[in-house]
Amino acid sequence: MTSAVQNVACVQAERYEYSTIKEGVDRLFALLELGKLIRPGISVVLKPNLLMKRTPEEATTTHPTLVSAVAEKVLELGAASVLVAESPGGPYTKSSLNAIYSASGMAQAGSEHHFSLNQDFTYQEVTWPQGKACTAFNVITPLVGADLIISLPKLKTHGMTGLSGAVKNMFGSVPGLQKPELHYRYPERDDFTNMLIDLWECVHPAITIVDAVEAMEGNGPSGGSPKHMGLLFASRNPYTLDLALANLIDMPVPQIPILQNAILRGLCPAEFSPAFVVGDPFRPVPDFQKPRKKNLDFVDVLPAFLQRPCKRVMERVLVPNPVIRKGDCIGCGKCAESCPQHIIQIRDRKAEIHSRKQCIHCYCCHEMCPKKAIDLRRLLG
Ligand code: SF4
Ligand code: SF4
């Protein structure tokens, strides 16, 4: 028997038609009794994924219909105000955010469905003494002051973390270009993902509702392709929710370091069980395209003294490297701006990686390229 707080709710929602999505949101709230969390008069902040300037059809950002339906739901339940707040991958500025609000459909949805769009570009330091990897974060101000936060991720693959779901969505709490700084401070995969877990616990959204109507498969979180799934998920627990999403896209836990570390920290059940899920059943989708990733698990079975040198050699061969397709590059500089190692330069209006040895394989450049001009390629395989 699982507790209500651990439960994941799943409902079918075939299309981004307002009535369909609103019905789905109503069912999610009923299944998990989420209405009890909305006290009359509170201010609610919705935190979608607005990674970059993309249209809803590109499946990179949370669909505005889901944001609208959740906003209307919490207003019906007595919330006094609803604000959408997100720090995207690039600079956290008025012009950048307003361009994203407009392209993603949030600006129009906000005027039709009674929610506002954040225009406060300040941040505050929030301490989190119990953090394992990180004990203080700079968090955008609207998330610090909210009575209640609802996180609204888009289901996507991710080159570094395997899955971009409930936990990863809260990386957008960190202001703009401070995100690459965190990649720089935590270049190792496990440290970085423990930092993401600390950040989720620090900001602590009360509810997470996942847009999995059209997901992104392949080279997510921005270079992949839309994949129709026709589902919405909700939970108060981001770990069981990510476990359910992993099961849906048929991605094993060892390929998702956030889940591996959450399990090690006792935050997450060791494996998915259908007993966690209420609402509509779902089945794994085995043909969901996975991102190109390294898999060095076999090294762990070697004697300890061989593991480090073997990992070093195999990493060179198996870890995908960012490779710029110069023909598609427009020299916008977004990759250089987001590179925590500062190893990308723009010369003659084309991007160049000038020191491959210093690359920490965070894939921020790949993630931020608006032209999908950065491939992730292995030497082998
Ligand atoms: S690789 Fe992409 S992000 Fe970098 S300069 Fe070229 S188009 Fe812009
Ligand atoms: S080149 Fe790309 S993958 Fe390498 S450190 Fe810079 S942003 Fe990260």
Task: Tell me the average pLDDT across 224-230.
Answer: 97
Q: Residue 324 CA: which ligand 1 atom is closest?
A: 1
Question: Which pLDDT score, from 0 to 100, does residue 319 have?
Answer: 79
Model pTM score: 0.88
DSSP assignments along 131-165, one per residue: -SS-SEEEEEHHHHH-SEEEEEPEEEEETTTEEES
Residue 46 sits at φ, ψ, to 5 deg, of: -100, 130
Q: What is the pLDDT of residue 264?
A: 97
Confidence category of residue 184, pLDDT binned at 50, 70, 90: confident
Q: Cα-flanking dihedrals φ and ψ of residue 116, to 5°?
A: -105, 160
Query: Which stretches does DSSP call E strand in the chain?
Result: 8-12, 43-48, 81-84, 116-117, 123-127, 136-140, 148-152, 154-158, 162-164, 207-217, 225-235, 277-279, 321-324, 344-347, 350-353, 374-377
Residue 246 alpha carbon to ligand 2 centre in Å = 26
The whole-angstrom separation of Cα 49 and Cα 60 is: 8
Mutation test of ligand 2: which of 342, 362, 369 has the most ligand atoms closer than 8 Å to its C-beta? 362
Question: From CA 358, how far away is CA 342, in angstroms rounded?
Answer: 9
pLDDT of the residue at 320: 85
Under 8 Å between Cβ of 160 and 166: no
CA of 345 to the centre of ligand 1 (A): 10
Q: Provide the CB-side half-sphere exposure for 26 (13 A, CA).
A: 8
- Among 2-11, 64-73, 75-84, the minimum mean pLDDT is found in 2-11
Average pLDDT over residues 163-190: 94
Side chain identity at 290, as an amino acid letter?
A: K
> What pLDDT sits at residue 377?
87
Atom of ligand 1 nearest to the CA of 369: 3
Fold of the 8-279 domain: Rossmann fold (3.40.50)
CB atoms within 10 A of CB 267: 17
Q: Which pLDDT score, from 0 to 100, does residue 197 have?
A: 98
- 365 CA distance to ligand 1 middle (Å): 8
The residue extents of the domains of the chain are 8-279, 297-377
> What is the per-residue pLDDT across 3-20, written as a single tens digit (0 to 9) for each?
666 799 999 999 999 999
Answer whether residue 95 shows pLDDT above 80: yes
Whether the bond between 205 and the residue before it is cis, its omega within 30 degrees of 0, is no
Averaged pLDDT score across all residues of the chain? 93
**Which ligand minimizes its atom distance to the CA of 366?**
2
Between CA 192 and CA 183 the distance in angstroms is 7
100/55 Cα distance (integer angstroms)? 9
Report the C-alpha gap between 88 and 97 in whole angstroms: 8
CATH number of 297-377, picked from 3.30.70.20, 3.40.50.300, 3.40.800.20, 3.90.800.10 = 3.30.70.20
The residue whose C-alpha atom lies closest to atom 4 belonging to ligand 1 is 335
Out of 353, 374, 375, 376, mutate this one to test ligand 1's pocket (max ligand atoms within 8 Å of CB): namely 374
Q: For ligand 1, atom 6, which residue shows the shortest CA distance?
A: 329
Q: Is 330 in the pocket of ligand 1 (CB under 6 A)?
A: yes
